[in-house]
Amino acid sequence: MPCTRLSSKCKTPKRFGEQMPECCYSHIVQVIHYILDLFKEHEIIHWLHFGTLLGAVRNNKIIPWDSDGDIGVLAVDKNRVLNLKNRILDDGYGFYIYDEDLLQIGYSPENWTYCDIWFYHEIPARKHGRSHRSKIDLAEKLDKKIHSDEPVLKCPTSFMQVDHTCDFPKWFIDTPWQIPLEGKLAACPRHPGNFLEFIYGDEWPQPQPKRGNGACGNYHPLSHWLKFVDDHKLESANTSNYQCRVDTPACDPPNQCCANHVNELLRVVTGKLRRSEIWHSVEGNEVYVKPTDFQSIKEMFERKIKAMDCGYVFYGYNARCEVHFSEMNSNMVKIFKR
């Protein structure tokens, strides 16, 4: 029998790859969506984290054998989150403070299908030290590689094991991106693929057996940390390696993939104009048409883009039209009057 708000949750998966019950899966999605909407309403900076981010990047879904959700929040906003306790309880959800840096919000006080809220503290690199298996003083090494004021984020909750702390450069969430998760756009770290590689290593695209508590596995050698912690180096790496897609934001600065997306849109737009025997000229990603044709062109593309159902998005304004690669990816072609 499916579990409900008034019952205990079902037995959760114990083995890697074992599917959770359909009811529990839908409850996790509901809890995560509720938290995302709540934090957005109160303008609390947050991001998908750990297994929830893994599922979102891999296929825009919750991992079927991940028995909880994970969302990160800056510790400076912790009191604002805790002050939402009465609102959360009034809405029928559960509220449990695991320790000073970990909060859990459940599907209900009785049904503890829950999402972890991890509170991350900002620590200057010069003061940042962590336990590595190599026992190297990270703070000293960082000062040799990056600016001394380069901050990192650390969640010192007792839930994490000593060798599995999941610290990361603050650069990743300075300006969060968005990614689809179960039909809703959710905030996530910048360049989420790079973030997941930093947290899990280069095996992250393929599902791995659970590692237990602290499953982020961020106990890589010092060289792995330094590879990512320097924002200038990361930007440089992204310029050549990162490839934006229909379900990710456009690259900043633009990469070759962005040019490919724009060229794809240009072929669609100019092809339709040629077949309709409508005069036009092209300059970069801008298409110019006669003022007398503009209104009919706007109506034509509004119908066509919707009918194509391939992810493109059309925006019509008084003086221009825009065809975007997707809702998330802002690579576009603009149509102007001339």
Asked if residues 159 and 213 have their Cβ atoms less than 8 Å apart, the reply is yes
Structure tokens at 324: 């975007």
Instruction: Look at residue 14 in the predicted model and tell me its pLDDT.
Output: 58
Type of residue numbered 209: P
Tens digit of each residue's pLDDT (9 = 90 or more) over 95-124:
999 988 899 999 999 999 999 999 998 877
Instruction: Look at residue 115 in the predicted model and tell me its pLDDT.
Output: 96
Tens digit of each residue's pLDDT (9 = 90 or more) over 142-168:
333 333 356 778 877 666 544 344 778
| Whether 201 and 288 share a structural domain | no
Beta-carbon neighbour count of residue 273 at 10 Å? Answer: 20
Asked if residue 182 is part of any domain, the answer here is yes
The residue ranking higher by pLDDT, 84 or 199, is 84
| Whether 230 and 81 share a structural domain | yes
Distance of alpha carbon 276 from alpha carbon 37, whole angstroms? 44
Asked if residue 6 is part of any domain, the answer here is no
Q: What is the 3-state secondary structure (H, E, C) of 200-212?
A: HCCCCCCCCCCCC
Beta-carbon neighbour count of residue 253 at 10 Å? Answer: 9
Residue 218 pLDDT exceeds 50: no
Mean pLDDT of all residues belonging to the chain? 78
Please tell me the pTM assigned to this model: 0.62
Residue 3 pLDDT exceeds 50: yes
| Whether 221 and 316 share a structural domain | no
| Whether 265 and 184 share a structural domain | no
Domain count across the chain = 2
Tens digit of each residue's pLDDT (9 = 90 or more) over 8-44:
888 776 555 577 888 999 999 999 999 999 999 999 9
Q: Which domain holds residue 288?
A: 256-337
| Whether 179 and 236 share a structural domain | yes
Rg of the Cα atoms in the chain? 23
Q: Of 64, 47, 43, give the one whose Cα is nearest residue 118.
A: 47
* pLDDT, mean of residues 262-291: 91
The residue ranking higher by pLDDT, 199 or 234, is 199
Asked if residue 5 is part of any domain, the answer here is no
Residue 179 pLDDT exceeds 90: no
Q: Which residues are registered as beta bridge partners of 332?
A: 324
Residue 172 sits in a domain whose CATH number is: 3.30.460.40
At residue 255 the predicted structure's pLDDT band, cuts being 50, 70 and 90, is confident
Asked if residue 153 is part of any domain, the answer here is yes
Cα–chain-centroid distance for residue 278?
A: 41
Asked if residue 302 is part of any domain, the answer here is yes
Residue 224 pLDDT exceeds 60: no
* pLDDT, mean of residues 295-313: 87
Asked if residue 3 is part of any domain, the answer here is no
The residue ranking higher by pLDDT, 200 or 261, is 261
Q: Which of 206, 241, 276 is the last residue of a domain?
A: 241
Asked if residue 228 is part of any domain, the answer here is yes
* pLDDT, mean of residues 172-194: 85
Q: Which of 184, 207, 241 is the last residue of a domain?
A: 241
Number of H helices, E strands in the chain: 10, 14
| Whether 205 and 293 share a structural domain | no
Sign of CA dihedral 134, 137, 138, 141: negative
Distance of alpha carbon 242 from alpha carbon 250, whole angstroms? 10
The residue ranking higher by pLDDT, 165 or 248, is 248
| Whether 119 and 174 share a structural domain | yes
Q: Rounded to whole angstroms, what are the CA distances from 86 to 75, 82, 108, 230?
A: 20, 9, 13, 41
| Whether 298 and 231 share a structural domain | no
| Whether 72 and 221 share a structural domain | yes
| Whether 59 and 200 share a structural domain | yes
The residue ranking higher by pLDDT, 194 or 131, is 194
* pLDDT, mean of residues 118-146: 51
| Whether 140 and 227 share a structural domain | yes
Q: Which of 207, 241, 275 is the last residue of a domain?
A: 241
| Whether 169 and 217 share a structural domain | yes
At residue 300 the predicted structure's pLDDT band, cuts being 50, 70 and 90, is very high
DSSP 252: S
Tens digit of each residue's pLDDT (9 = 90 or more) over 52-77:
998 988 888 898 888 889 999 999 99
* pLDDT, mean of residues 197-217: 62
Torsion of CA 130, 221, 203, 242, to 10 degrees: 90
Task: Identify the weakest region by mean pLDDT among 122-126, 206-210, 236-240, 309-313.
Answer: 236-240
Asked if residue 282 is part of any domain, the answer here is yes
